Amino acid sequence: MSLESFLNILKKVVDICLVWILFYYILKNVRKNVKFSLLFKGIVAIIIVKLISDYVGLTTIGLLFEYLISWGPLAIIIIFQPEIRGVLEQLGKTQLLGRHKTLTVTEREKLVSELGIAIDYLRKNRIGALIVIERDTSLSEYIERSKKLYAELSNELLCAIFFPDNPLHDGGVILQGDTITCAGAVFPTTVDMKFSKRLGTRHRAAIGISEESDALAIIVSEETGRVSLAVGGKLNYNLSVDELKLMILDELMPKSETFVVESDEEDEIDEIN
């Protein structure tokens, strides 16, 4: 094989990989963003109707949808300009290595332990709280607009921040690793209609930030004292403190460690058999 042939093959492989990466990010954001998911469903419906009209021979409706498909991309860019800009900004903010991955096993366990103590105190005393843990997607946009602390994580500090007389208790706290980076952060609220209207602002803000990023958002209800966790646009409602701690540990565990644990468990099963 000549060098020229090898380079041509390499170019094709790189070209295909770039296309797959593009589709991956498009589908990833469609899944997480409610507006994009509705747009995607609408486009699929239009294409299906166009194919049916061509097959049956409906000339007028087929011509109408042909014009719609031709001018649709331009209309989408104009109408969904804020959402497209948000996706591009989020792509630029994505980190290659999440901050939680730099934590050792001991540091992660300490983080979850401090969170558990604070959450237990807050729920028993019916003190509302919103704690967001940054992962791969940077939350610098929200950190810049809030009160910066950069303090070591402790349950006493978390309880003090959310104490009702504290000026910062209404906003959210952002954790980067085992550091309380800021307090009083304001997050976008979800517009997904599938969630109950009875959910308060904290719950909607937690779901909203979990839709826009891969962050973990912990909520303590001021009215009921119930604890919830928002991940990937989904709300895990009314958790016990132990359930919350296990979920956080699982979410913060790097994938490599997960594979090692699974391998060890398989070896033990083989030995027993």
Q: Give per-residue pLDDT as tens, 93-134.
A: 554 444 444 678 888 999 999 999 999 999 999 999 999 999
Q: Which two tokens stand for residue 77?
A: 């860019």
**Cα separations (Å) of 164 from 17, 124, 129, 183, 202?**
52, 14, 10, 14, 15
In this structure, the number of other CB atoms found within 10 A of the CB of residue 37 comes to 15
Give the percent of the chain with pLDDT over 70. 79
What pLDDT, on the 0 to 100 scale, is given for residue 266? 43
Helices (H) and strands (E) in the chain, counts: 10, 7
Cβ within 8 Å of residue 28, ≥6 positions away: none
Query: Residue ranges of the domains in the chain?
Result: 3-93, 99-256
CATH number of the structural domain 99-256: 3.40.1700.10
Taking residues 39-53, what's their average pLDDT?
81
Identity of residue 51 = L
The SS3 of residue 71 is helix
The SS3 of residue 170 is coil
Rounded Cα gap, residues 140 and 144, in angstroms: 6
Please, what is the end-to-end C-alpha distance for the chain in angstroms? 51
Taking residues 39-49, what's their average pLDDT?
79
Task: Give one DSSP letter per residue of 209-235, joined into a string.
Answer: HHHHSS-EEEEE-TTT--EEEEETTEE
Cβ within 8 Å of residue 56, ≥6 positions away: none
Residue 182 has pLDDT above 90, yes or no: yes
Contact 63, 54 (CB under 8 A): no
In this structure, the number of other CB atoms found within 10 A of the CB of residue 32 comes to 18
Q: Give per-residue pLDDT as tens, 76-90.
A: 777 767 666 666 665
